[in-house]
Structure 1
């Protein structure tokens, strides 16, 4: 299987390692030249609880891609999706599948602007990963992957992808109720990511303070009410349980919004909190905390400008 990872940040590199271990031909695609050069020169340094590996992976700029992909795994920011897929259109053939494990809501429809709807896979990851330097990624924590065809019930290729990821060390499975899983992950992120970003602290800090715990409970309740009103069944207690895992097992992990603000980059808050708030407005649900967190992160982004 020829796998192109478009968006070779912390998560993209973690999944590249799994596909490589499973015997796939893996190419990392990114615009960060320093990162690409480090991987090309020394291999990807991937540190997990099992130890540190140096994986020989191809790493190229979008202008340098060639061949035809069997699978494109999309790990760019949500607001970069159109530009990213347009930038690698030469490797997209009629049978190329695109799997989005991006944060937030609406990613399947964005991808479907670039490939046939039956070739779109969508899913969620609950794995932590941090980019610690050019060519160096660390993932300390447990988790897994759920995926499924976005617009069909033909499970064949999706099952193969899940099997390869599992064989490569990242437990993965199919979930026909993937819409519920995506909403649940978005609600989790809408509660945890902004609070880490705004306090400039990791989940362990949130777990140690009653104020943040109270806001996490309220944010999850608002998100779950929005999902239910939008016709999507979610388990609020299961989402709260996942926040507990984050605050303990992933206590020192830097969530993506925190990484972005620390690096002076735009966050994905519009596709996470913003998307939930907009769905809530359509469904007539009040989400005062989620809206406040959205606006506060937007103000942090405005400071970067």
Structure 2
């Protein structure tokens, strides 16, 4: 299959490499010039569970795609949420009537962006529990195991979604075809909607957030706002189960000492965040439905103010 990885950072490198190893024709697309240059010169160098692998795959900047005479069967979207629209605007020449897209981004509402570029029956949504890291331009560190859960958003897309499930599993990505991926997406969004924004504003790791007596009320209130808005999209979240799931991350012997991705983006790397696609998405959806979401509203505003103070780009 001809597959483009739209966002060939850490996770995109994992998917690209594993699918390349299975014999698929992979095109990497990324915005980091040094990353592009390194892969063009040396290939993608990956430490895959302790085995050093070098894979030669073509890689382009998004703005270079229009100059190619190329179309693909599948695009795997792994950009930052706030880069998705611009990425697909640049790579439209890859898309034909039969091109499908699977979106594996964190956050909510990405199908609305993708519907500008591909038919709804060609859109798949999913979440991934794989991990990945970059040790530098063109160098990926890929350890551990994970899985992918995916589903078509329109009934007409089921056959292709099941085909992608098989292709991913054959490549070792452990895909599962879901009949309710939106529940999993909203549940994961609750984790991001509590830990990411709060740790970013408080400039702390997950364990430090969990250790504060006031954290439980903040987290439960944010989860409640997510749950009441999710219900308008026919997604039922068990708020107690979600809170307990979030609370397991506080353990310093687990991921508690980790700084969430939004903290890394803004505090460490001075980059704009994905807040508009997490808490901000709940705020927007709540406005449409006449549902008050004061904690999500305020947290979104605080993160944007922090971006402005730090001059994030």
Q: Shared fold by TM > 0.5? A: yes
Instruction: State the alpha-carbon separation in 2 of the partners of residues 13 and 279 from structure 1.
Output: 33
Q: CA deviation at 1:135?
A: 1.7
Instruction: State the alpha-carbon separation in 2 of the partners of residues 245 and 280 from structure 1.
Output: 28
What is the aligned partner in structure 2 of residue 290 from structure 1?
A: 296
In structure 2, the CA distance between the partners of 1:22 and 1:254, relative to structure 1 (3 Å rule), is: farther
Counterparts in 2 of 1:258-273, with a 5 A limit?
258-261=263-266, 262-273=268-279
Give the paired residue count.
Answer: 304
Q: CA deviation at 1:5?
A: 0.5
SS of the aligned residue for 2:272 comes to coil
What is the aligned partner in structure 1 of residue 43 from structure 2?
A: 43
Counterparts in 2 of 1:242-257, with a 5 A limit?
242-244=245-247, 246-248=249-251, 249-257=254-262
Counterparts in 2 of 1:100-179, with a 5 A limit?
100-139=103-142, 143-179=146-182
What is the aligned partner in structure 2 of residue 4 from structure 1?
A: 4
SS of the aligned residue for 2:131 comes to coil
Q: Is the 8 A contact 2:82 2:273 kept in 1?
A: no
Q: Is the 8 A contact 1:166 1:172 kept in 2?
A: yes
Within the candidate set 66, 90, 93, 2:93 is matched to 90
What is the aligned partner in structure 2 of residue 274 from structure 1?
A: 280
Q: Is the 8 A contact 2:123 2:157 kept in 1?
A: no
| 1:236 and 2:239 matched | yes
SS of the aligned residue for 1:159 comes to helix
Q: Is the 8 A contact 2:73 2:99 kept in 1?
A: yes
Counterparts in 2 of 1:23-62, with a 5 A limit?
23-47=23-47, 50-56=49-55, 57-62=57-62
What is the aligned partner in structure 1 of residue 195 from structure 2?
A: 192
In structure 2, the CA distance between the partners of 1:251 and 1:170, relative to structure 1 (3 Å rule), is: farther
In structure 2, the CA distance between the partners of 1:140 and 1:212, relative to structure 1 (3 Å rule), is: farther
What is the aligned partner in structure 2 of residue 304 from structure 1?
A: 310
Q: Is the 8 A contact 2:152 2:158 kept in 1?
A: yes
In structure 2, the CA distance between the partners of 1:297 and 1:46, relative to structure 1 (3 Å rule), is: farther
Q: What is the RMSD of the two structures over their aligned residues, measured on CA atoms?
A: 2.5
Q: CA deviation at 1:156?
A: 1.9
Q: CA deviation at 1:117?
A: 1.9
SS of the aligned residue for 1:72 comes to strand
Structure 1 unaligned blocks of 5 or more = none
In the superposition, the TM-score normalised over structure 1's length comes to 0.88
SS of the aligned residue for 2:157 comes to coil
In the superposition, the TM-score normalised over structure 2's length comes to 0.86
In structure 2, the CA distance between the partners of 1:32 and 1:23, relative to structure 1 (3 Å rule), is: same
What is the aligned partner in structure 2 of residue 18 from structure 1?
A: 18
Q: CA deviation at 1:281?
A: 3.5
Structure 2 unaligned blocks of 5 or more = none
Instruction: State the alpha-carbon separation in 1 of the partners of residues 207 and 143 from structure 2.
Output: 14
Q: CA deviation at 1:31?
A: 1.8
Q: Is the 8 A contact 1:198 1:297 kept in 2?
A: yes
In structure 2, the CA distance between the partners of 1:207 and 1:169, relative to structure 1 (3 Å rule), is: farther
